Amino acid sequence: MYKGLALSKSSHCSINSASEAMAASDGTAAPLIIVISGPGGVGKGTIVNALVERDPKLWLSRSWTTRPQRPSEPDTAYVFTDQPSFENRIGQGGFLEWTRFLDNYYGTPLPDVVDGRDVVLEIEVDGASQVKRLRHDAVLIFVLPPSRDEQQRRLRGRGDPEDKVDARLRKALDEEPVGLALADHVVVNDNLDRTVDELLAIIDHHRVSA
């Protein structure tokens, strides 16, 4: 049984228990939480993988999802699970945040141990806003595509059926104003190396001022 998270969608988490669960096991201060959000097709996955490769003090959370695995996706992209297992974990209070996104569940499991590294979450905007409510000092970074054409090209390149691509494009348009209003920082991903440099500088800035 996970500690004290509420079961209902309207109050996903109890602030104290979830924050406690994100604290380091040796009693030192809670790690910085960096939330990367952005519309589908912006390249978030590539960005967060590059981030944790460049900075060993970052720990990338692996989400749970009920979405089927894409043929192009590694097994480690998510914990791929079914709806009953996901709902069971919700019932146990086992998520820091969770949401429904285009007919599937997605959620950040409460980490068992955070070993002093700062935590990176790659999640959509509803989850980002839940995390901000839990941890006001979480750093929310919203990533924008360089152009709509490029975003559409990336979304189509994943091999999803056309109706799913359309739904994701519509969802991306809905998410954008919400994400921009919520964000502490906005970054345009026009070049992967430059974007990662920019994110690392933002993270360092927040580490110094924490």
Nearer residue to ligand 5GP within complex by CB, 85 or 207: 85
Which listed range, 15-23, 80-88, 120-128, 185-193, lies at the site for ligand 5GP (CB under 6 A)?
A: 120-128
CB of 200 to ligand 5GP, least distance (A): 20
CB of 166 to ligand 5GP, least distance (A): 14
Residues whose CB is less than 8 angstroms from the CB of residue 173 and which lie 6 or more positions away in sequence, other chains included: 39
Which listed range, 6-14, 17-25, 80-88, 105-113, lies at the site for ligand 5GP (CB under 6 A)?
A: 105-113
Nearer residue to ligand 5GP within complex by CB, 106 or 142: 106
Residue 75: DSSP 8-state = G
The structure tokens listed for 32 are 């910085």
d(CA 123, CA 175): 12
The structure tokens listed for 14 are 């109890």
d(CA 60, CA 209): 22
Nearer residue to ligand 5GP within complex by CB, 3 or 171: 171
Give CA 2 to chain center in angstroms. 20
CB of 171 to ligand 5GP, least distance (A): 8
CB of 15 to ligand 5GP, least distance (A): 17
Determine the residue type at 17.
Answer: S
Residue 92: DSSP 8-state = T
Member of 12, 21, 34, 40 binding ligand 5GP (CB under 6 A): 40
Under 8 Å between Cβ of 66 and 83 = yes
Nearer residue to ligand 5GP within complex by CB, 177 or 210: 177
Instruction: Identify the residue whose tokens are 């989400």.
Output: 63
Which listed range, 83-91, 104-112, 132-140, 190-198, lies at the site for ligand 5GP (CB under 6 A)?
A: 104-112
Site for ligand 5GP in 142-181 (CB under 6 A): none
Site for ligand 5GP in 83-102 (CB under 6 A): 97, 99, 101
Site for ligand 5GP in 122-141 (CB under 6 A): 122-124, 126-127
Under rule CB under 6 A, residue 44 binds ligand 5GP: yes
Closest CA to 57 of 209, 190, 207, 210: 207
| Distance (Å) of CA 92 to CA 4, 7, 82, 133, 196 | 8, 8, 16, 20, 36
Q: Quick check: helix, strand or coil at residue 6?
A: coil
The contact set with ligand 5GP (CB under 6 A) reads 40, 44, 63, 67, 97, 99, 101, 106-108, 122-124, 126-127
